[in-house]
A and B are shown apart, each in its own frame.
Chain A
Amino acid sequence: MTRAAVLSGLGTALPPRLVTNDELSLRLNTSDEWIRSRTGIGQRYWTDRMATSDLAVDAGRRALKAADTDLVDLVVLATTTPDHPCPATAPDVAARLGLGPVAAFDVAAVCSGFVYGLATAAAHVEARLAERALVIGAETFSTILDPGDRSTSIIFGDGAGAVILRAGHDDEPGALLESDLGSDGSLKELIRIPGGGSRQRTTSADSDLASGHLTMDGRAVFRHAVMRMAESARTLLARTGWGPASVDCFVAHQANVRILHAVADQLGIDRDRTVVDLDRVGNTSAASIPLALSRAAETGRLMPGHRVLLSAFGAGATWGSIALTWPDITAD
């Protein structure tokens, strides 16, 4: 019996404004059928007045309530869209949740952010740097989209998801058993916001760096995402000794249903065991995995003791996977 971080609460938040494929079709050259066939996305939520921290606080509060606690000693917030370039958003979220003077920091790993944050927080718990941690993925990608760019506008949505980790043991349901993180900075231009950083400010008028909007090379992302998620997940299958058939639920970053199916096929995991949530919320970046976990738990797809494999790929490029068992909790 080894000390391990155990998942003990889950909460989510979505902004109120529902954006349908039909609404986007009114101003972009697209259609509901086109978007669904290429991405599997049916709708998404975009924020009106809520900033990232507002969604993070909402999801965090629900996760604390679900875990029946108001005590944590670490807050990790994975986000690509902090409230401000400086300071980090996590301390504000911790303060507004009334958590006291806890350690709090942001993780910038874009769509892999939740996996990065969760693995980091779990390591804090295992190393006795924390007894209980709140890990949040919260994004407002609608604020960085180029409204005229079809390729990104149809995909991304806003939202937040949060989990509580507590100190426990690796034989308990809910234990995080293994993690794998990786990156390849030579792929930094696959998905990025060119402007707004020190590169732009130290480069004389370069129009390529002027944009504050997200750009993405969709086809290249597709390929790298499938290869890297499959490789990372395979690493964890080897370490846990789980065969592909013994994975009860595969919860991967919700970028595109065709990526989800391609990764599942590469791993030999039945597509039916792959959770699809992007039809409801689109690609919510760092929030996608906790939102998908919540949906799977609510619909009975996740049962206590289930073997769960998480995997994500995002800008950076970054990727990572986590193997855990599912705890006996209800999502809020």
Chain B
Amino acid sequence: MADSVAERIIAVMAENLQMAAAGITPATVFDDLEFDSLVLVELAVILQREFGVEVSDDELAESKTVGKAAALVNERIAAA
């Protein structure tokens, strides 16, 4: 499950930023990607729909990296 959440986050970011998913890894720092504030909101909405857990865009931003954001989502899934 950890991998699928991270993969989904990478796919959404890549699609939004119109860049190759290969350029984003779990170690990628959100702040290193140039995106506007709505991208993390879009990501939060998709994660809520697909994994059934609520994670806010602020929490995603505070996670700093793709991998840590995926870990947060997985924690929520485990707790659900």
- The answer to whether A223 touches B45, judged by C-beta atoms less than 8 angstroms apart, is yes
CB-contact partner of A258 in B38, B44, B46, B56, under 8 A = B38
A219 interface residue (CB < 8 Å to B): yes
Per-residue CB contact flags for chain A residues 36-48 toward chain B (1 = under 8 Å, else 0) read 0110000000000
CB-contact partner of A226 in B36, B37, B45, B56, under 8 A = B45
Q: How far is the CA of A38 from the CA of B56 in the complex (A)?
A: 19
Q: How far is the CA of A222 from the CA of B36 in the complex (A)?
A: 13
- Please, which residue of chain A has its CB at the minimum distance from the CB of B16? A258
- The answer to whether B41 touches A222, judged by C-beta atoms less than 8 angstroms apart, is yes
- The answer to whether A219 touches B41, judged by C-beta atoms less than 8 angstroms apart, is yes
- The answer to whether B37 touches A219, judged by C-beta atoms less than 8 angstroms apart, is yes
- In the complex with contacts A219-B57, A227-B48, A266-B49, A258-B37 CB distance below 8 A: no
B62 interface residue (CB < 8 Å to A): no
Q: Which residues of A contact B49 (CB under 8 A)?
A: 230, 266
B75 interface residue (CB < 8 Å to A): no
Interface residues of B, dominant DSSP: helix
Q: How far is the CA of A283 from the CA of B41 in the complex (A)?
A: 20
- The answer to whether B45 touches A227, judged by C-beta atoms less than 8 angstroms apart, is yes
Q: How many residues of A contact B (CB 8 A)?
A: 12
Q: Which residues of B contact A258 (CB under 8 A)?
A: 38, 42
Q: Which residues of A contact B48 (CB under 8 A)?
A: 227
Per-residue CB contact flags for chain A residues 45-63 toward chain B (1 = under 8 Å, else 0) read 0000000000000000000
CB-contact partner of A38 in B36, B45, B46, B57, under 8 A = B36
A262 interface residue (CB < 8 Å to B): yes
Per-residue CB contact flags for chain B residues 48-76 toward chain A (1 = under 8 Å, else 0) read 11000000110000000000000000000
Q: How far is the CA of A262 from the CA of B49 in the complex (A)?
A: 11
Q: Which residues of B contact A222 (CB under 8 A)?
A: 38, 41-42, 45
Q: Which residues of B contact A219 (CB under 8 A)?
A: 37-38, 41, 57
Pull 24 A–B residue pairs with CB atoms less than 8 Å apart, ordered by A: A37-B36, A38-B36, A38-B38, A219-B37, A219-B38, A219-B41, A219-B57, A222-B38, A222-B42, A222-B45, A223-B41, A223-B44, A223-B45, A223-B56, A223-B57, A226-B45, A227-B45, A227-B48, A230-B49, A258-B38, A262-B45, A262-B46, A266-B45, A266-B49
Besides A38-B36, A262-B42, 17 other A-B contacts (C-beta < 8 A):
A37-B36, A38-B38, A219-B37, A219-B38, A219-B41, A222-B42, A222-B45, A223-B41, A223-B45, A223-B56, A227-B45, A227-B48, A230-B49, A258-B42, A265-B46, A266-B45, A266-B49
- List the 9 closest A-B pairs by CB distance, nearest first: A226-B45, A222-B41, A219-B41, A223-B41, A266-B49, A262-B45, A262-B42, A223-B45, A38-B36
User: A residues touching B (Cβ–Cβ < 8 Å)?
Assistant: 37-38, 219, 222-223, 226-227, 230, 258, 262, 265-266
User: B residues touching A (Cβ–Cβ < 8 Å)?
Assistant: 36-38, 41-42, 44-46, 48-49, 56-57
